Amino acid sequence: MNLEKLQPLTDEYLESIGFVWHTDEDDSSYVADEIVQITEDEANAFYEATNELYDMFCEAGEYVIENNLFHDINIPFNLVELIKESWENDVHWHLYSRFDLAGGIDGKPIKLIEFNADTPTSLFETAIIQWALLKKNGLDDASQFNNLAEALKENFKRIITLDSDIEKFEEYYSKLGWKILFSSISSSSEDINTTKLLQHLASEAGFNTDFEYIENVQFNDEGIYKEDELFEFWFKLIPWEDIAIEESELALMLTEIVKEKKAIIFNPAYTLMFQSKGFMKILWDLYPNHPLLLETSFEPLKGKKQVEKRCFGREGANTKIINADGSIDCETHGEYEGHKAIFQEYVELPTDENGNSYQAGVFYAYEASALGFRRGEKILNNMSKFVGHIIR
């Protein structure tokens, strides 16, 4: 693990660009003042692996739908119809997502840990902050695997062209004039500013946009509204499983809105399949012993060190690392105990000289677009740090 120490960005600068979650509860900086040095070959390997994994997820998604395996991967029943509807029509474009990966540096093979396909965090820090960190320190800001802002703008255009060719965007959009409403919960500054960053990128791509907190958005048989204005597109930074469990009436309403073609929602409902950690059991069944995968089961693995986690869980909550003899190495608690458990073969994360673990996160927006790292203990949690990188 090669780390390079840098002069940190000031809190004042971070706040000036909308990055207000820069300090953790213990008053330590959330953004590390070190960056990971990687090689060009390592960057290319992350790019190729993530593109291959996305293709595998798409193949496995078709398999889940054809074989009606929604219950197996813990999908709430009241979203199954909407998932099918969004999967079958190309207008429901997957805007962005993030793969969490072990390895990829120091000669360790890349392994999929999970796929944050619906509401991935670390967007702001990956797209903007680690780039600004290089610029602040007089380093070549192009020496990163980081094209995320531009990739997102191009992918916004594809929701109109529905094609890899985005040159026709202005021609198509001038005829349609469709608008995007962006929404988050009102209680999280991180969610608000991440959503507003996406809104800004969509505006730069050429869209008319607006923002409204989820509690103020209106839904009826005719579509999705802010006050009296109808929106053809709605981006929500609210997890689909939360809508299904906590807002069942809204889940039914959104199903009807999509079925009747009154609005298109991002990320689409089918991303909940990919988000489920149970989906990795399906991947293992379809691609056994694939070099990018870890063995995953709905039952404990025999004679192997493994990780027990929930199909839907965030920030490392409700996770156990279990030794081969069945003893507990370490565990966390949380609010996701009610979700189905999966068991995934354990893999060591790369570590630095202080014993900190590093997990790679690669964003995907039509293709692999950016790399960032999280640093923490064996089980990463909401106190883990964001670490940028540089290609040397």
Domain residue extents for the chain: 3-276+351-391, 295-345
User: How many Å apart are CA 270 and CA 136, to the nearest integer?
Assistant: 40
Task: Give the whole-number percent of the chain exceeding pLDDT 90.
Answer: 86
- Comparison of pLDDT for 161 and 127, the residue scoring more: 127
Residue 334: helix, strand or coil by DSSP? coil
Closest CA to 378 of 319, 334, 327: 319
pTM over 0.85: yes
CA dist 48 and 276 (Å) reads 23
Cβ atoms of 242 and 76 closer than 8 Å = no
Q: How far apart are CA 98 and CA 118, in angstroms?
A: 9
pLDDT at position 381 is 84
Sequence-separated (6 or more) residues with CB below 8 Å from residue 8:
29, 31, 33, 133
pLDDT digits over 339-379, tens only? 999 999 999 999 999 999 999 999 999 999 999 999 999 88
pLDDT band at 175 (very low <50, low <70, confident <90, very high): confident
CB neighbours of residue 84 within 10 Å: 17
Confidence of residue 258 (pLDDT cuts 50, 70, 90): very high
Report DSSP letters for 179-245, one per residue: EEEEE--SS-HHHHHHHHHHHHHHHHHT-EEEE--GGG-EEETTEEEETTEEESEEEE-S-HHHHHH
Lookup result for tokens 């070549």: 140
Q: What's the pLDDT score for residue 191?
A: 95
Q: In this predicted model, what pLDDT tens digit does every residue of 188-198 receive, in sequence order?
A: 999 999 999 99
More confident residue, 172 or 277: 277
User: Sheet holding 320-322: strands in order across?
Assistant: 296-297, 341-345, 306-310, 320-322, 328-331
- Cα(376)–Cα(204) distance, integer angstroms: 35
Name the residue among 284, 272, 325, 355 with its Cα closest to residue 97.
272
**74: helix, strand or coil:** coil
**In this structure, are residues 33 and 5 in contact, taking their beta carbons and an 8 Å threshold?**
yes
**Three-class SS of residue 358?**
strand
> What is the phi/psi pair of residue 261, to 5°?
60, 40
The 8-class DSSP code of residue 2 comes to: -
Q: Which two tokens stand for residue 79?
A: 């979203």
CA geometry: angle 59, 239, 117, nearest 5 deg? 30
Sheet (strand 385-391) strand order: 3-5, 31-38, 385-391, 368-376, 357-364, 97-102, 111-116
- pLDDT the model gives residue 92: 96
| 8-state DSSP, 129 | I
Say which residues have a Cβ less than 8 Å from residue 297's Cβ, sequence separation at least 6. 281, 284, 342, 343
